[in-house]
Amino acid sequence: MLKPIKTNEAYEMALDRAYDLIQQELELGSEASDELEVLSLLIKEYENENFSIPKPHPIEAIKFRLEQSGISESELTKILGARSRKSEILSGKRKLSLSMIRKLNEKLKIPASVLIQEY
């Protein structure tokens, strides 16, 4: 019987069981398939509560996305406006405005929840 995961031991057991189920060729809608689905939700919830990863700093997220996407800082100037504005933002002297957050979210696909954090 499935029940909420409350300890590390129960978490490890749930991972083992999920692994066993994944190794089988399950039919969609079967009892085992439903068990795997519910077990996955329980595991995810336990991980969110116990192993959460903090959101990155907004400026670090911008720099990371630029590097990963191969986008130059001059492209960032086009997104944010004036060159001096870009420099002030990257140095932390200026905060992101709502319109900047929208543009960064749209153009660089950085989640708005990361960009709107206090920093």
Q: Is residue 37 part of a domain?
A: yes
pTM above 0.75, yes or no: no
Range of the domain at 44: 8-50
62 shares its domain with 45? no
35 shares its domain with 64? no
The pLDDT tens digits of the residues spanning 29-76 come to 999 999 999 999 999 999 999 998 889 999 999 999 999 999 988 889
Q: Is residue 3 part of a domain?
A: no
38 shares its domain with 13? yes
34 shares its domain with 73? no
88 shares its domain with 108? yes
3-state secondary structure the chain: CCCCCCCHHHHHHHHHHHHHHHHCCCCCCCHHHHHHHHHHHHHHHHHHHHCCCCCCCHHHHHHHHHHHHCCCHHHHHHHHCCHHHHHHHHHCCCCCCHHHHHHHHHHHCCCHHHHCCCC
